Structure 1
Amino acid sequence: MQLDEEGTAEGAPQTAAAEDGVVRALSLANALLNRPGGLTREQIFDKIELYRARRDERDRLVGSQRQRADDALEKLFGHDKEHLRSCGIKLLEPTAEDDYRYRISRTQYGLPDLSLTSQERSALYRAQLQFARNTIAGLQHAVWAIDPEYDDAAGSPAAPRVVQSSIGSDTEVAHLLDISRIGLRAAITFRYTGRGRRQAETRRVVPLGMGVRGHWYLLAHDLDRDAQRTFRLDRVSGTISTLPAASLSEPESVTLKQITRGGRYAALDVAAEVDRNVAGFTEHDAVEGALRVHQDEAPGTLPKLTRGTSRRRRDDASTKTERVINMIALLLTRGGIRPSELLEKYSLTPDQLLRDLLSISLVTTDQYPDTLDVTPFPPLNDEQFITEYLTADQPIELRASGGAMDRPVSLTKPGAMSLLIALKSLIELCPPGDEHIAAAAESLQRKVMAIVPEPIAHAAESMSLAPQAAHRAVLRAAQQASSAGHAVELAYTDISGRSSTRVVEPVQVVHDGPHTYMRAWCRRAQGERFFRLDRIADLKPLPHDPQGERSAALSLSDSSGPQVPVTADSVSVVLRFSPSAAGQAFLYHPVKQHTEKVTGARTILTSFVTKEAVIGTCLRAGGDVEVIRPVELREEVAERALELLGQQQK
């Protein structure tokens, strides 16, 4: 145990502390790994401080109070054991044959060697590169856990013109992971705000599959409607939880058994069903929805808009334990890992990294060989940790007397899902000439599915990451031009509705949130440009017009992705996103925002490149996005909607 007397500057209050549940679980694992003969329950309580303190407090009580304290201690111990088992650690319950000792076998601890081939290793790093600009949670750690000898600090193999991806918002991926943990074809419940709804309602469903077509969609059997339904995950709010069997009616229980046993939805084509649902909302529906919300007067007052910060959902104790036990393995194996690298590898906020480091520092039984020493020891104040510790970014070393926890124990559940998404993306979005990478990704995918929790493997297997059907021909042509190194001629309509024809040199396909772009060198603009696939009316390959040096250089350079340019024509607007569309607000780069507590609707202050861009966005949103200020622009959206509806009726 590290007791740091200089960890916080004089006068700086302590604002951070280790998390007891994580410390207990890790101390339990460390103690048992260092003692092949095992420990009895009382020996564990005696050696691990956080148990010992509770046991001693229990021993001072008598009668029913002592019994309640003993029950609480046993319940706590049970939770900690389950947290370790959820990480994939085989903690054996004691029996009379082994003197009632708990054991963790060193030989069964950690991930198995997947014996990667050179082709599978190339696919692994291509998957990592694909998400290099917008890393999905846990992917960096998963790559290291699969191949611990790979040093990403030295740089990964070059992969020019690799697809760059960012599939889904943090909220969507968190919901995706929640469903995956519970498992497909199990009854779940959540709050959902459908299109046009003002408030969320409770839905009870049986998940059948998931797919991404810009947004993540859940295909499920709706128990209350006894029919198949599709749900957009950014419209789900609150907790996704398992439905107790006792809460189901007899017909619902029969339906669940039919689905679980494969007698119903056995031949379900997830990709086709997601395509059909995405295409179901027509242009006429969208314009009618826009008119409905814009024809009333704008609100007289605005809610108080503040500068928003991205908020990550707090992990539960099991997730934290899994992450920290893998972080220990990384620090023991590599040594000298900078805080900035840990923030990236585990997709952490600074305050969570501080608490993880403090939890590691308290993993002990006060006896050799169980101590772990973190150097440099972090301060106990959040602000000081950010301004001093993170700014210095001095490599962190972890010294262990026993070294029992020096192997990655799992991919972590977010890491497993992230890696499987990345591999599936390589397979389904494979550009011409990279078929060998797709084949290696399929082989690696099978190996990974064999070592991850079964519900996550089943969920990943059910996913469809293919592009929208309407965009596939354009995407394929863009990929072929990029691979072959020739130009293309585009008929393109920008966000403001301005049409143009131009010759460009494609260098990458970029999946950014709900949109897919072609990154290219534009000869007309003489610079880098991003063209949204759904705005390309026509793409004509120019096989005899080779790309030049500027596009070749562009293909090897990093990019910050599609950006909203600020020009003299830029328009500042206040938009309200309906409760069902609140999750999309982050795509519009809000300067300030406000979220309604009751409905979840979100109001933001942002800017658009032109007035026409604002009008077009609202008309396509189907009533999910409305202009609040300026009032004149709101009225113009309503007038344009009326005009379009009149034209459609002719």
Structure 2
Amino acid sequence: MTGPKTSVDRLGRLLNLVPYLLARPGILVSEAAADQGVSEKQLREDLELLWVCGLPGYGPGDLIDMALDGDRVTISHDAGIDRPLRLTQDEALALVVALRMLAETPGTGTRDVIERALAKIENAAGDLADAPVAVKLPANAEKLDRIRAAVEGGHALEITYYTAARDETTSRIIDPMRVLMVGGRAYLEAWCRRAEATRMFRVDRIDAFAALPERSSPPPSARPQDVTEGVFRPTPDLPLVTMRVGRHSRWITEYYPVEEVRRDGPGEEWVVTMRVTDLGWAQRLLLGLGPDVTVVGPPELLDRIRAQAAAALDQYSSPAR
């Protein structure tokens, strides 16, 4: 059975299809489909999509045009897709800076490939590649290098780790699995013997670590986490926090994963619901936002915030010693 596996496969085929058809005017659809490794039905769907592709403006002369006469197809206007891609100065500089940063990021396993791509872009960019742009890594780059070396050594680690959700620092023994970058932050993924589960440890929150004599040995049940959509993956079993958010605190809907955002009446307040791993973390976050946020639920969180607010007021009412 033939056919595309992913949208990436289809994109690559569409990009190749125009120059292929330009070189073979009047080719049979069945023959073109066989050459492309797809069914005739799929090729006709690709041709229909090409009909609405082209250059910005999307008017006459901007879109790809073709003649589909029964079983034969001919490209009559290629909309410039047969010409090689030319990067603008801004695009070339952005690629150079991004690749330089990637090449300097510890833990990148394809550094040689990145450097070859960077060399090609810099060569094509000419003098632009020498623009005075500084590429600076985060301050914990040296720590990340040392952690990566420790992980590659294959030993279990004892770490001192700060957990922001519970505002506590703990010591634990872990079996490292990999070092990775997610959302611009470095993480050490490992089997935590204390939690008896796979955990993601932010490198900047590892206060200290030491390699142990024993080898790292994650159990067979330890599996790398899918981080394509981020490190935090809300699940239905986590506490659901509901709050009314004023205009100046709406940024939390972009900074944190939220389940729902809706307007609350004619005013500027939004009703926001979000899952959290720990109510203590939510308590500190919401108290820090001040009067611009009103907590609706759950009741346990409301009680905790009231108690902490009352304790703070008591401090003001107590005479100074």
Q: TM-score range by the shorter chain?
A: 0.5 to 0.7
CA apart distance, 1:507: 0.3
What is the aligned partner in structure 1 of residue 65 from structure 2?
371
The CA distance in 2 between the partners of 1:448 and 1:597, in whole Å, is: 56
Higher RCO (CA 8 Å, separation ≥ 6 residues) = 1
Is 1:628 aligned to 2:298, yes or no?
A: no
Q: Specify which of 231, 236, 239 is matched with residue 571 of structure 1.
A: 239
Amino acid at match of 1:617: L
CA displacement 1:209-238 (0-9 Å, x = unmatched): xxxxxxxxxxxxxxxxxxxxxxxxxxxxxx
CA apart distance, 1:503: 1.9
What is the aligned partner in structure 1 of residue 156 from structure 2?
487
The secondary structure found in structure 2 opposite 1:423 is helix
Is 1:400 aligned to 2:75, yes or no?
A: yes
CA displacement 1:345-382 (0-9 Å, x = unmatched): xxxxxxxxx998624498766xxxx83369xxxxxxxx
What is the aligned partner in structure 2 of residue 253 from structure 1?
none
The CA distance in 1 between the partners of 2:242 and 2:65, in whole Å, is: 55
CA apart distance, 1:577: 5.6
The CA distance in 1 between the partners of 2:137 and 2:311, in whole Å, is: 34
Whether the 8 Å contact between 1:590 and 1:605 is mirrored in structure 2 is yes
Amino acid at match of 1:611: L
The secondary structure found in structure 1 opposite 2:100 is helix
The CA distance in 1 between the partners of 2:134 and 2:149, in whole Å, is: 25
Amino acid at match of 2:214: D
Q: For residues 356 and 333 of structure 1, do their structure 2 counterparts lie closer, same or farther at Cα, with a shift above 3 Å needed?
A: closer
CA apart distance, 1:445: 5.1
Is 1:592 aligned to 2:267, yes or no?
A: no
Whether the 8 Å contact between 1:581 and 1:625 is mirrored in structure 2 is yes
Whether the 8 Å contact between 2:97 and 2:133 is mirrored in structure 1 is no
Whether the 8 Å contact between 2:191 and 2:222 is mirrored in structure 1 is no
Whether the 8 Å contact between 1:487 and 1:541 is mirrored in structure 2 is yes
Aligned CA-pair RMSD: 5.2
Q: Specify which of 106, 112, 125 is matched with residue 430 of structure 1.
A: 106
The CA distance in 1 between the partners of 2:133 and 2:267, in whole Å, is: 32
CA displacement 1:560-604 (0-9 Å, x = unmatched): 542346586x43222456656534423422111136999987652
Gaps (5+ residues) in structure 1?
1-151, 154-323, 339-353, 375-397
CA apart distance, 1:618: 3.6
Amino acid at match of 2:258: P
CA displacement 1:47-85 (0-9 Å, x = unmatched): xxxxxxxxxxxxxxxxxxxxxxxxxxxxxxxxxxxxxxx
Q: For residues 603 and 472 of structure 1, do their structure 2 counterparts lie closer, same or farther at Cα, with a shift above 3 Å needed?
A: farther
The secondary structure found in structure 1 opposite 2:250 is helix
Q: Specify which of 34, 52, 73 is matched with residue 358 of structure 1.
A: 52
The CA distance in 2 between the partners of 1:373 and 1:333, in whole Å, is: 15
The CA distance in 2 between the partners of 1:644 and 1:373, in whole Å, is: 82
Whether the 8 Å contact between 1:589 and 1:606 is mirrored in structure 2 is yes
Gaps (5+ residues) in structure 2?
1-7, 22-35, 39-47
Amino acid at match of 2:166: S
**TM-score w.r.t. structure 2 length?**
0.59
The CA distance in 2 between the partners of 1:530 and 1:416, in whole Å, is: 35
The CA distance in 2 between the partners of 1:598 and 1:574, in whole Å, is: 19
CA displacement 1:455-477 (0-9 Å, x = unmatched): x995xx6364512x2x3343233
The secondary structure found in structure 2 opposite 1:358 is coil
The CA distance in 2 between the partners of 1:400 and 1:541, in whole Å, is: 64
The secondary structure found in structure 2 opposite 1:613 is helix
The CA distance in 2 between the partners of 1:413 and 1:337, in whole Å, is: 37
CA apart distance, 1:605: 0.7
- Identify the structure with the greater strand proportion: 2
Amino acid at match of 2:187: Y
The CA distance in 2 between the partners of 1:553 and 1:373, in whole Å, is: 56
The CA distance in 2 between the partners of 1:520 and 1:328, in whole Å, is: 42
The CA distance in 2 between the partners of 1:644 and 1:536, in whole Å, is: 34
Is 1:545 aligned to 2:214, yes or no?
A: yes
Whether the 8 Å contact between 2:156 and 2:216 is mirrored in structure 1 is yes
Amino acid at match of 2:65: T
The secondary structure found in structure 2 opposite 1:488 is strand
Is 1:332 aligned to 2:9, yes or no?
A: no
The secondary structure found in structure 2 opposite 1:409 is coil
What is the aligned partner in structure 2 of residue 121 from structure 1?
none
What is the aligned partner in structure 2 of residue 197 from structure 1?
none
Whether the 8 Å contact between 1:522 and 1:529 is mirrored in structure 2 is yes
The secondary structure found in structure 2 opposite 1:496 is coil
Q: For residues 608 and 371 of structure 1, do their structure 2 counterparts lie closer, same or farther at Cα, with a shift above 3 Å needed?
A: closer
What is the aligned partner in structure 2 of residue 6 from structure 1?
none
The CA distance in 1 between the partners of 2:265 and 2:97, in whole Å, is: 33
Deviates more, 1:595-604 or 1:481-490: 595-604
Q: Percent identical across equivalent pairs?
A: 19
Amino acid at match of 1:586: E
Whether the 8 Å contact between 1:490 and 1:539 is mirrored in structure 2 is yes
CA displacement 1:372-430 (0-9 Å, x = unmatched): 369xxxxxxxxxxxxxxxxxxxxxxx962466632442358997577445413323313
Q: For residues 328 and 574 of structure 1, do their structure 2 counterparts lie closer, same or farther at Cα, with a shift above 3 Å needed?
A: same
What is the aligned partner in structure 2 of residue 409 from structure 1?
85
Amino acid at match of 2:133: S
Q: Specify which of 206, 216, 227 is matched with residue 536 of structure 1.
A: 206
The secondary structure found in structure 1 opposite 2:194 is coil
CA apart distance, 1:489: 1.6
What is the aligned partner in structure 2 of residue 607 from structure 1?
275
The CA distance in 1 between the partners of 2:220 and 2:136, in whole Å, is: 28
The secondary structure found in structure 1 opposite 2:144 is helix
Q: How many residues align?
A: 272
Deviates more, 1:610-619 or 1:625-634: 625-634
CA displacement 1:21-68 (0-9 Å, x = unmatched): xxxxxxxxxxxxxxxxxxxxxxxxxxxxxxxxxxxxxxxxxxxxxxxx
Q: Specify which of 197, 213, 217 is matched with residue 527 of structure 1.
A: 197
What is the aligned partner in structure 1 of residue 5 from structure 2?
none
Is 1:511 aligned to 2:205, yes or no?
A: no
The CA distance in 2 between the partners of 1:356 and 1:634, in whole Å, is: 58
